Amino acid sequence: MDFNNFHFLRPYWLLALFPLALYLYFYLQRRLKQGSWTDVCDPQLLDWLLVDKPVQQQSYSLLWISIAGIISILALAGPSWEKIPVPVFRNQSALVLALDLSESMDATDVKPNRIARARFKITDILKQRKDGQSALIAYSDAAFVVTPLSNDAETIVHQLNVLEPGLMPAQGNNTTAAMKLATKLFRQAGIANGQVLLVTDGGDQQSSAVNAARELSKHGHQLFVLGIGTEAGAPIPQAGGFLKDAQGSILIPKLDQSVLTKMASAGHGIYRKMTPDNADINQLLSAIDHASSTDLSNKAVSEISQWKDRGPWLVLLLIPIAAFAFRKGSLVVVLVAISAASPESQALSWDDLWMNANQRGESDFAKNQYQQAVEHFDSPQWKAASHYRAGQYDKAAEILKHLPENSENMYNLGNAQAQQKQLKQALKSYDKALQLDPDNKDAQYNKKLVEDALKQQQQQQQDKKDQQNQSEEQSDADNQQQQQSDSKDQQDNQQQSDKQDQQQEQQQSSQESASKDSEQQNDQSAEKNQDDLDEEKQNETEARTAEKDSDKQNQEQKETQASRSSDEQSLDESDQETEQWMRRIPDDPGRLLRRKFLYQYKRRNNPEIR
């Protein structure tokens, strides 16, 4: 017994000790309130006077209730100090899915095309498969592992969406390579009897494909085939037309069922042609499940450790107390206490048993739960990718800035900066990526897009500047014209004033011959007229000046509003244009697989490549 590991599996049950203590306290208080009749009455009369017995006679009942309550609570809390192995049975049957990615899978004799229908069928197969391990192989001229054998079918479904013939480094239909790679996966996983499901529209040379199926069967595995396409076939669409052979004739790949049937027969499996419903995959899965169920080696027994609950042993201590309480009528209380529902103890969660933190992150990433994936991932690259997919480009860029400067990290940093419209920084990141790897086609393409976006921004800024200069020139011309108009008005006013002065002089000279009284009256009248004329002239000048100032102010307000509207419109157009350029930056989820396949293909052909 190792008391260093002593703990309670359900420690919250220990909180029940507080209600038990309160119950005992109030129970004792109630007994004490019955008074001190023993001091004034004879002991023979107490049995007839008191409803309850004296406190001294109740002390043993209180003690047994306390002991029973404490033992019950400790039992429910689940004391434990050692682990015991618990057997776990798992289905170890293994299925390797081999998907043909040759150019013929782009044929459209089934809609939308053969490769799309093949992906749908594989998805349905994985969803109907209840347990066991699964792997995915993609092949054309060579075969490559997309996902190794594992119990995580969701990852395979996620990878299926990006598989297309364009990912393969070289074209062909090498089913022999696919079967050899499947045999290698079984050997690495220690699977003695596995199943291979070939999803294809035809095999390579009949003799080599059949021989490869026989070789697969010799290793204890079975081959099942699902044919995609029709016997009539259809052309393979390409940019500007259809795929042609060396003689210039349009290629029409047809489903060769005879070859596929012979392959399945040589591999001790069955062949089924694709159907619009699930009849084809139901028959294939039935045969696969039957083959795996008859093989006892696929039934693996493993062990996990769980803490042993010692609480039930404490219940044995309640038996004497229960026998005593039976005579007192308190057994019901004890039975209710020890029969309380006890939740099952589980030391580890299911995901903790089979998946580590990065695997849980990959599962969340495949389910588009990018925020949960960030919390699970330990890898900074995956954290940055999760932030990027979640639209948190600033956080993704912050992580990528602290990663080693390789072509991949610089390319991803450039994408994150471009999404934040930091075009100049993105351009520098793409330049670094190309310095480290001049053959990075994606970086070259995105760099060109960002350069075009920068040129577009500069052109818009230049147009805006030209428009502002033109507006300033127009304003200067209007001001000059206004000044000329003001000068002309001043000349007109001066001429009118001179004319009025001449008229006044003529009036004064014509009235000099009048009498003295008349001269005084005329002088007074002339002065009065002169004052009126001066006042009228001043009022006209002020009114004309106020009108000019009002016109000038209105003109300036119009120009300001027009300039502001032009600036806002230019900014809106700039943002829209930048957003359109950003949308043109491709989000290619299959890029990593394409580069992986290309690297493995080059390494196989040239072993010196590391």
DSSP letters, 225-292, are EEE-S-SS----EETTEE-B-TTSPBP-----HHHHHHHHHHTT--EEE--SSSHHHHHHHHHHHHHH
Q: What values do phi and psi take at 225, rounded to 5?
A: -130, 135
Q: Which residues neighbour 278 within 8 Å (Cβ) at sequence distance 6 or greater?
A: 124
Segment 45-69, tens digit of pLDDT: 666 666 555 444 456 677 777 888 8
CB 374 within 8 A of CB 388: no
Q: If pLDDT is split at 50, 70 and 90, which confidence band does 233 have?
A: confident
Q: Is the separation of the CB atoms in 317 and 64 below 8 Å?
A: no
**Residue 96: per-residue pLDDT:** 93
Residue 246 has pLDDT above 80, yes or no: no
Confidence at 123, pLDDT banded by 50, 70, 90? very high
Q: Which helix (H) or strand (E) holds 491?
A: helix 441-510
Q: What is the pLDDT of residues 522-572, one digit of tens each?
A: 455 444 445 555 555 565 666 566 555 656 566 666 566 655 555 555 545
Which one, of 540, 176, 173, 592, lies nearest residue 407 by Cα?
A: 592
- Helix residue ranges, H only, 94-235: 114-128, 153-160, 175-189, 206-218
Contact 217, 195 (CB under 8 A): no
The residue to which tokens 């990065």 are assigned: 358
Domains and CATH numbers, the chain: 3-81+309-338 (no CATH), 90-300 (3.40.50.410), 366-453+585-605 (1.25.40.10)
Q: In the numeric block, which tokens belong to residue 113?
A: 């095309």
pLDDT interval class at 37 (50, 70, 90): low
Highest mean pLDDT among 34-43, 353-362, 578-587: 353-362
Confidence at 341, pLDDT banded by 50, 70, 90: very low
pLDDT, residue 289, reads 80
CA distances from 73 to 17, 64, 95, 308, 342 (A): 7, 14, 50, 17, 11
Q: Using the predicted structure, report yes or no on whether residue 99 has a pLDDT greater than 60.
A: yes
**Helix, strand, or coil here: 164?**
coil
Confidence band, pLDDT 50/70/90 cuts, at residue 422:
confident
d(CA 410, CA 436): 9
Given a cut of 90, is residue 575 above it in pLDDT? Answer: no
Q: Which of 144-153, 268-277, 414-423, 556-565 has the lowest mean pLDDT?
A: 556-565
State the pLDDT at residue 496.
Answer: 61
- Predicted TM-score (pTM) of the model is 0.45
380: Cβ contacts below 8 Å, ≥ 6 apart: 399, 402, 403
Average pLDDT for 455-465: 78
CA–CA dist 376, 353 (Å, integer): 15
